[in-house]
Amino acid sequence: MNAEKPYNLSETLLEILACPACKGKIEHVEAEEKLVCRGECKRRYPIRDGIPVMLIDEAELPST
């Protein structure tokens, strides 16, 4: 992983995005290159080549 992140997610985009599973708010976790649902389901969506992959089937479920 590069020291610099190869992409830039705007604050406006993050405000608009919602979790496709539960419609909860999304938070960008830069260190893990993931978008994390802060709503009910807590799914973690990957960012690949600077593009958020907001597909339920691609998301990681929260560890219990």
d(C-alpha 15, C-alpha 40), whole Å: 17
pLDDT of residue 35: 96
pLDDT of residue 64: 57
Compute the mean pLDDT over every residue in the chain, rounded to the nearest whole number: 88
pLDDT in tens, the chain (64 residues): 445 556 778 889 889 999 999 999 999 998 999 999 999 999 999 999 888 999 999 999 988 5
pLDDT of residue 1: 44
Mode of pairing for the β-strands spanning 34-37 and 44-48: antiparallel
pLDDT of residue 2: 45
Taking CA 40 as the corner, what is the angle to CA 51 and CA 5, rounded to the nearest 5 degrees?
Answer: 25
H or E element that contains 13 = helix 11-16
